[in-house]
A and B are shown apart, each in its own frame.
Chain A
């Protein structure tokens, strides 16, 4: 997943959101819980305070009596953390009683720590108690006796905060664990969602690769509604691209027809005339013919540049050309043999392959004494990333070429042999076309005696 990708953007957003949102949610949940725990603890203390106070009032008159049943066994266990205590205030003498759990210690009082009472006249505060216990203390003031005998007493209940703290700590651990798991699950889900959601885009990528490699001419993958317009536009673009190329080719063909017929007329008109003017006209007409051919070839090649690749099976093309040549060279009774490895497919336009094979085979047929041999096969992968190539070899048993001719037979305009009819440009057209596909044409002496033309072209995989 590269940083500049839709998948990364979606995933990174999800991660950022998760990292931000889950801790905040955790903090809020924790504080609400802690508040709830504190409130219920205070309520319990208040209830116990009410019980102790009413009990002591029930059993006393001018001064507090011994509470009989406060319903909390922990008041009986020494240093349990749960205590009650009743003692006189204002430094005056009076009866002082406390729970057994408190032994000889005493509870720190909120009233002595400047804690204001709430609406029920109860002071509640967290204070440090004996034995380093953190205590929550609820205290109320009650007056026993009347008149001069009236005496203010402090009635206090204390409960240790230890168990609240433990409970909160446990809750915090569980909450963190649960939220972490939720976060991981959420991110995993996001990852899946991104992959699943972006899967059509991966299909588009594959489809485009197929078009580029020539396995398809249009994008035909089932796409979701949102990007279907993209597919339609792309196919329309591909189609119009192909149409433009077709139109360019048609125009080129029309131009050829328009120019070549007058050229033929001019040439024939001057044919039988031996005057210098007629010779000049013939010479110039020949130059014009070569120029027309040269630029038509260039235009055809230029029309192809940028066209997304096509794939052409070599075998049917060679067969149709050989069928034509058998007819054209019927008198020579040539034997044509073809050895084409199945699956040898040219990465390029059919017309161009026809042009290359046509010229090579025509040339071979022109010179051959008895046979023309065509062999086509994929070349083994060189493994250095140079791509895949195919080799087409056309051999004949004619006279062949001299080494000097072979060294440079492809310069445009030079005729290899003036005595054979035809433009003589065959090999140069083939070399130019092969070159435009990054391929090449090599000429060598054939083992059958004549010329061996070896064409290297890109292989469609």
Chain B
């Protein structure tokens, strides 16, 4: 899952990036409205955390322009302006949720999980696929009830596949959603991590669809 943080306060931006990275997200950050708008316009984020009081271009305008450009990723507005008139303005501009500063990081993380789940069409916080189970709250994976130990990159990959299970996910899509912007996209890291994952879960669950990508499926003995 790839997240964009647009926040001009450098300390808060750093804290958000750290907390989100720790929670298993690939995080890009922007420090002003123009930079934020450009990233959100060009990169396929799964979620954006957007401050409203930004230099160069305010958050509400950034959001409105994204929505006009048909960018539909979930956006959580993070702002000190917590009056209801501000909230209504934010939601009407196309935000999906609203978190007022000063906030509790746990609350923000919970809202992020909820938005990511909602965007991929899942109603509950723990995702299931056959014997596999992923609790997004605690970032724990179990296989038939037994915990599976994963590195953070393996977790990111599996979490993305679980969010989009039974669907073919291209290698490009995986690269775009799992790594920060400055990741070297020509490397074969995706293949390496798929290989490692197949050693930890029933290998047939992740199918390679030649020329298209991968599919996580609960039907183990398909072909």
Contacts of B107 in A (CB 8 A): 421
Q: Is the CB of B110 within 8 A of A421?
A: yes
Instruction: Of the listed stretches A265-273, A444-452, A453-461, name the one at the interface; the rest are far from the partner chain.
Output: A265-273
Q: Is the CB of A358 within 8 A of B102?
A: no
A174 interfacial by beta-carbon distance below 8 Å: no
Give the shortest distance, in Å, between A312 (CB) and chain B (any CB). Answer: 11
Q: Is the CB of B12 within 8 A of A321?
A: no
Q: Is the CB of A257 within 8 A of B80?
A: yes
B9 interfacial by beta-carbon distance below 8 Å: yes
Instruction: Of the listed stretches B81-89, B128-136, B192-200, name the one at the interface; the rest are far from the partner chain.
Output: B81-89
Q: Is the CB of B88 within 8 A of A330?
A: no
- Bound-state CA distance A263–B15 (Å) is 13
B38 interfacial by beta-carbon distance below 8 Å: no
B69 interfacial by beta-carbon distance below 8 Å: no
Do A256 and B81 form a contact, CB below 8 Å, given A268-B12, A421-B104?
A: yes
Size band of the interface chain A makes with B = 35 or more
Give the shortest distance, in Å, between B73 (CB) and chain A (any CB). Answer: 15
A260 interfacial by beta-carbon distance below 8 Å: yes
- B8-23 vs A, Cβ < 8 Å mask (1 yes, 0 no): 0101100100010000
B84 nearest CB neighbor, chain A only: A358
Q: Is the CB of A355 within 8 A of B84?
A: yes
B167 interfacial by beta-carbon distance below 8 Å: no
B169 interfacial by beta-carbon distance below 8 Å: no
B118 interfacial by beta-carbon distance below 8 Å: yes
- Bound-state CA distance A274–B96 (Å) is 33
Q: Is the CB of A328 within 8 A of B91?
A: yes
Do A321 and B88 form a contact, CB below 8 Å, given A268-B12, A269-B15?
A: yes
CB within 8 A of A327: which of B79, B84, B91? B91
Q: Is the CB of A324 within 8 A of B91?
A: yes
Q: Is the CB of B101 within 8 A of A263?
A: yes
Give the shortest distance, in Å, between A219 (CB) and chain B (any CB). Answer: 27
Give the shortest distance, in Å, between A10 (CB) and chain B (any CB). Answer: 50
- Bound-state CA distance A121–B79 (Å) is 119
Q: Is the CB of A354 within 8 A of B80?
A: no
A357 interfacial by beta-carbon distance below 8 Å: yes
- Bound-state CA distance A8–B101 (Å) is 62
Do A350 and B11 form a contact, CB below 8 Å, given A327-B96, A330-B118?
A: no
A293 nearest CB neighbor, chain B only: B82
- B96-110 vs A, Cβ < 8 Å mask (1 yes, 0 no): 111011111101001
Q: Is the CB of B91 within 8 A of A260?
A: no
Contacts of B150 in A (CB 8 A): none
Contacts of B12 in A (CB 8 A): 261, 264-265, 268
Contacts of B105 in A (CB 8 A): 268, 271
B44 interfacial by beta-carbon distance below 8 Å: no
- A81-101 vs B, Cβ < 8 Å mask (1 yes, 0 no): 000000000000000000000
Give the shortest distance, in Å, between B53 (CB) and chain A (any CB). Answer: 5
Q: Is the CB of A320 within 8 A of B88?
A: yes
Q: Is the CB of B102 within 8 A of A285?
A: yes
A253 interfacial by beta-carbon distance below 8 Å: yes
- A318-330 vs B, Cβ < 8 Å mask (1 yes, 0 no): 0011011001101
- Bound-state CA distance A327–B87 (Å) is 11
- B61-91 vs A, Cβ < 8 Å mask (1 yes, 0 no): 0000000000000000001111111011001
Do A355 and B83 form a contact, CB below 8 Å, given A323-B91, A324-B92?
A: yes
Q: Is the CB of B84 within 8 A of A260?
A: no
A359 interfacial by beta-carbon distance below 8 Å: yes
Give the shortest distance, in Å, between A211 (CB) and chain B (any CB). Answer: 23
Contacts of B102 in A (CB 8 A): 260-261, 263-264, 266-267, 285, 289
| Residue of A258, A268, A289 ringed by the most chain B CB atoms within 10 A | A268
Contacts of A350 in B (CB 8 A): 85
A356 nearest CB neighbor, chain B only: B84
Give the shortest distance, in Å, between B192 (CB) and chain A (any CB). Answer: 31
Q: Is the CB of B83 within 8 A of A351?
A: yes
- A247-284 vs B, Cβ < 8 Å mask (1 yes, 0 no): 00000010011111111111111010000000000000
Question: In the complex, given contacts A268-B15, A351-B84, what are 19 additional A-B residue pairs having Cβ atoms less than 8 angstroms apart?
Answer: A256-B80, A257-B81, A259-B80, A260-B80, A260-B100, A260-B102, A261-B12, A261-B101, A263-B102, A265-B9, A265-B11, A268-B12, A269-B11, A269-B15, A327-B91, A331-B114, A331-B123, A357-B84, A423-B100
Question: Residues on A close to B: CB < 8 A?
Answer: 253, 256-269, 271, 285, 289, 320-321, 323-324, 327-328, 330-331, 350-351, 354-355, 357-359, 421, 423
Q: Provide 28 A-B residue pairs closer than 8 Å at the C-beta atoms, listed in order of the A residue.
A: A256-B80, A257-B81, A260-B100, A260-B101, A260-B102, A261-B9, A261-B80, A261-B101, A261-B102, A263-B102, A264-B12, A264-B101, A264-B103, A267-B102, A268-B19, A289-B102, A320-B92, A324-B91, A324-B92, A327-B95, A327-B97, A328-B98, A331-B123, A351-B83, A351-B84, A355-B84, A357-B84, A421-B104
